[in-house]
C-alpha cells in the first residue's frame, strides 16, 4: 500500500481503520451485523481515544456512545449502518487505488467516522467531546432520535460526519424530508363480465397521483414525487386495492404544514372509493441559520471551504430543529453514496481530521449561540 502521511495525522492508520469498518458489513435492520459493526466502531474509538465506548442497545441495533469526560460541549454525530446488503463486500471488496478508497459504505459514512475519531485523537485535551454513532440513520432514526436530541441539547453544538457535498463542500442546510403512503380501497369485480360492479382502485390511484404531484412548489424548494405504486391481483379483475408511495422534500416549516395538511385532505374521485394516508415529514428542515456560526469558524480554519444546502436529510435535521448549532457534511470527500461507484478521496482525509480538531478547539473556547425556536429566546452553550 502507498504511504499517505500529512502532518500529525497517520493516513495509513486511518485507512486500516476504514478497512476494519468496511469489512464488517452493516446493513440496516440486520441486528447481528449491526452488533458486530457497533463492536468494531467501539474498538476503533477506544484504540485511539481511550476510555470506554458504550453500546446503547436499541430495537434497530446498538448505538455507540463515547465521552471524553467533563462538561459536554460538542457532539460528533454519525451512523454505522449502511444501505448495502450482506454479500456486497464479496463483489466490491475494500480497496485503495489511484488515490481512492472504495468499498461498501466508505463515503456514507464510515470514512467520516474514521476522520472524526482521528481528528479527536489530535487533541491533548478531549474533555467536553462526545461521539454518538447510531445504528438506524438510513432507515429514519426511529430508535435513535430521542438519544440524538438529548445529547445535542446537552452538548450545545453538533458536528455531523455525513459525506461532503460536491467538491468537498460542507452542508450548511438540508431540506426536511418524509415519506407518505396513500392506500386506496375499491371493490373487485370481473373485468370482462361486469366491470361496472367494481370500484377500480387503480383508476382512483391514478387520480391521486396527479393530485399529489400537483402539490410540489419548485419555486419554494418543495418537491413531491410519487415513487412506488402497486395495484391489482389479476389481469381480469377490477383492482380492489392500490398503494402509492411519495417522497417529499421541503425547505421550511410552513411548507411542512401545508404538505401534511394537503395529504390529510385527499379525497376520492370515484364514488365508493376510500383513501387512507400515513406518513409525515419525519425530518424537519435544517435552515442555513443553524450552521452559520460554525461554518464561519470552519472557513477560518480552512480558507476556501465552501458550504452548500442540499436536498437529502440526515440526523443533523433533528438537532438543527432544536435550535442547536449544527454543521453537516464534515465526513469523507468523495461521492457515489448508495451506489456501486462509491468512493473516498484519500488525500482529503488528513485535512478533514485536522478540521475536526480545529472545530472542537474553537467550540470549547467560545460561545456558540443557538437559533431560538419560535416564541423562544435562548442560548445553548457556554464558552
Q: Are strands 158-160 and 74-79 parallel, antiparallel or unpaired?
A: parallel
- 161 and 301, same domain (yes or no): yes
What CATH number does residue 296 fall under? 3.40.630.10
Write the pLDDT tens digit of every residue in 206-242. 999 999 999 999 999 999 999 999 999 999 999 999 9
Q: Do 180 and 170 belong to one domain?
A: no
C-alpha–C-alpha distance, residues 33 and 271, integer Å = 49
**370, part of any domain:** no
What is the distance between the alpha carbons of residues 260 and 91, in angstroms, rounded to a whole number? 41
pLDDT tens, residue by residue, 126-169: 999 999 999 999 999 999 999 999 999 999 999 999 999 999 99
Cα–Cα distance measured from residue 293 to residue 296, given in angstroms and rounded to the nearest whole number: 5
Q: How many domains does the chain have?
A: 2
CA pair distance 152, 370, nearest whole angstrom: 11
Q: Per-residue pLDDT tens for 323-379?
A: 999 999 999 999 999 999 999 999 999 999 999 999 999 999 875 544 444 444 333
Asked if the structure places residue 377 within a domain, the reply is no
Residue 367's pLDDT is 53
Residue 373: its pLDDT value, please? Answer: 44
Q: Does residue 4 carry a pLDDT above 50? A: no
Same domain (yes/no): 78, 108: yes
Residue 381 has pLDDT above 60, yes or no: no
**Domain extent at residue 226:** 176-283
Which DSSP helix (H) or strand (E) runs through 201?
A: helix 201-213
Q: What is the CATH number of the domain that holds 245?
A: 3.30.70.360
Q: What pLDDT does 377 receive?
A: 38
DSSP label of 331:
S
3-state secondary structure of 195: helix
Residues 50 and 66 in one domain: yes
Mean pLDDT of 55-79: 97
Q: Which three cell numbers stand for residue 245?
A: 408511495
| Residue whose C-alpha is closest to residue 85's, from 156, 33, 7 | 33
Among 255, 283, 311, identify where a domain stops: 283
> Is residue 65 located within the same domain as residue 144?
yes
Same domain, 138 and 240: no
Among 283, 316, 344, the domain-final residue is 283
Q: Is the pLDDT of residue 2 over 90?
A: no
Amino acid at each position: 500500500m502507498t504511504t499517505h502521511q500529512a502532518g500529525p495525522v497517520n493516513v495509513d492508520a486511518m485507512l486500516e481503520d476504514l478497512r476494519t469498518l468496511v469489512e464488517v458489513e452493516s446493513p440496516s435492520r440486520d441486528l447481528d451485523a449491526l452488533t458486530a459493526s457497533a463492536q468494531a466502531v467501539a474498538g476503533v474509538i477506544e484504540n485511539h481515544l481511550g476510555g470506554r465506548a458504550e453500546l446503547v442497545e436499541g430495537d434497530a441495533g446498538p448505538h455507540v456512545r463515547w465521552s471524553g469526560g467533563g462538561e459536554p460541549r460538542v457532539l460528533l454525530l454519525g451512523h454505522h449502518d449502511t444501505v448495502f446488503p450482506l454479500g456486497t463486500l464479496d463483489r466490491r471488496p475494500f480497496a485503495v487505488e489511484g488515490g481512492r478508497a472504495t468499498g461498501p459504505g466508505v463515503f456514507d459514512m464510515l470514512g467520516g467516522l474514521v476522520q472524526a475519531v482521528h481528528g479527536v485523537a489530535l487533541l491533548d485535551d478531549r474533555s467536553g467531546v462526545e461521539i454518538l454513532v447510531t445504528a438506524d440513520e438510513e432507515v429514519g432514526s426511529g430508535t435513535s432520535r430521542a438519544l440524538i436530541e438529548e445529547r445535542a441539547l446537552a452538548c450545545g453544538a453538533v458536528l455531523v460526519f455525513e459525506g461532503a457535498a460536491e467538491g468537498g463542500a460542507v452542508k450548511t442546510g438540508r431540506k426536511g424530508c418524509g415519506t407518505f403512503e396513500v392506500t386506496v380501497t375499491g371493490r373487485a369485480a370481473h373485468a370482462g363480465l361486469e366491470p361496472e360492479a367494481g370500484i377500480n382502485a387503480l383508476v382512483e390511484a391514478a387520480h391521486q397521483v396527479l393530485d399529489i404531484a400537483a402539490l410540489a412548489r419548485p419555486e419554494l424548494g418543495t418537491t413531491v414525487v410519487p415513487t412506488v405504486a402497486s395495484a391489482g391481483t389479476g389481469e381480469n379483475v377490477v383492482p380492489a386495492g392500490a398503494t402509492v408511495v411519495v417522497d417529499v422534500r421541503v425547505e421550511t416549516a410552513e411548507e411542512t404544514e401545508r404538505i401534511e395538511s394537503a395529504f390529510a385532505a385527499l379525497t376520492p374521485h370515484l364514488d365508493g372509493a376510500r383513501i387512507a394516508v400515513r406518513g409525515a415529514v419525519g425530518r424537519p428542515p435544517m435552515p442555513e441559520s443553524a450552521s452559520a456560526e460554525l461554518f464561519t469558524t470552519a472557513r477560518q480554519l480552512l480558507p476556501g471551504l465552501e458550504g452548500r444546502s442540499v436536498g437529502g436529510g440526515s440526523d443533523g435535521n433533528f438537532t438543527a430543529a432544536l435550535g442547536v448549532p449544527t454543521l453537516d457534511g464534515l465526513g469523507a470527500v468523495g461521492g457515489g453514496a448508495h451506489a456501486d461507484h462509491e468512493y473516498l478521496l484519500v488525500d482529503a482525509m488528513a485535512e478533514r481530521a485536522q478540521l475536526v480538531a480545529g472545530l472542537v478547539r474553537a467550540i470549547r473556547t467560545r460561545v456558540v449561540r443557538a437559533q431560538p425556536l419560535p416564541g423562544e429566546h435562548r442560548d445553548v452553550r457556554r464558552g
